[in-house]
Amino acid sequence: WNHEKLPFSVAMDINESKMPRKPAKKPHALPTIGPNFRLDGRRALVTGATRGLGLEIARALAQAGAQVFINGRKADAVKQQVQALNKAGLKVEGLAFDVTDAAATERAFAKIENGTGGIDILVNNVGVRDRRGLDALDTKDFNTLLQSDVIAAYGTCRLAAPGMRARKFGRIINVTSIIAELARPGDPAYISAKAGLAGLTRALAADLGPHGITVNAISPGFFATETNKPMIANPKIGPVYAARVPLGRWAEPQEIAGAAVFLASAAGSYVNGHILVVDGGVSATYGMV
């Protein structure tokens, strides 16, 4: 029979079946994501890292391969955490100093620069809170909180930037809070400080971006840290806050880790000037915290 008299589509199928087929092209290899989250060879400083979110961030960066310096005001607390993290096989050293002490902070940065080659990743995590309203909180105490929560971060950024510029690489991560955007009554100093830190993040992202340095922030929601334990235990506060979160619970401190590693790593290389919210969805659904 003459297949040329068959319908065109069928004839084409038959003709093609007699032709040698070219071997199928191999699919392009998918990018390997895992290594992009590694921080091997990087040096990180995390302020306020002897407990809470700072400690979990420090732990996560070290687990990703970075050499981490943890900071705190109390030398004993710093030493205790360094020993615990070292026992877990992590590369961690301690630097006990008060970030509001400019001279002590400069000495710490000089020690890192001279000893290891400088900081690649800076996490400004220190955050002091003074829950007093306008009538109770005087100007002096308001200024004290700003010094620790935003002005000290500006100082560490200034100290870290020259080395980062020289190496054409840097990651600065500021820890703000969802309260910087949502606010609540009776907390003017902390809200102002965290909002200022968010603004500083965007400003420095513009200044330092051309030098290969990204500046971002993590904005945590309700985390079950040591500081928040009394609130969580209070039946009039803990369950109420949990109910405001679409996930229906307070966050565990270690749940901050992924955001920090992402922003510090090559995986986040094009993220700059961003406030990464880690709050279980509360800021997307409620207007007041």
Contact 180, 219 (CB under 8 A): yes
Residues 6+ apart with CB under 8 A from 48: 54, 71, 72, 99, 125, 126, 127
What is the C-alpha radius of gyration for the chain, rounded to an integer number of angstroms? 25
Work out the burial of residue 150: count CB atoms within 10 Å of its CB; fewer than 13 is exposed, 13-18 middle, 19 or more buried.
Answer: buried
> Which tokens sit at 25?
């092209």
Which tokens hold the place of 53? Answer: 């979110």
**Catalytic option among 154, 190, 241, 286:** 190
Catalytic annotation present for 154: no
Order across the sheet with 67-72: list the strands: 92-96, 67-72, 43-46, 121-124, 170-175, 213-220, 275-278
Structure tokens at 29: 């290899």
C-beta separation of 176 from 275 below 8 A: yes
Q: How far apart are CA 150 and CA 129, in angstroms?
A: 12
CB 278 within 8 A of CB 216: no
Question: Are 186 and 241 in contact, with CB atoms under 8 Å apart?
Answer: no
Q: Which residues contact 229 (CB under 8 A, 6 or more apart)?
A: none
| Residues annotated catalytic, as ranges | 190
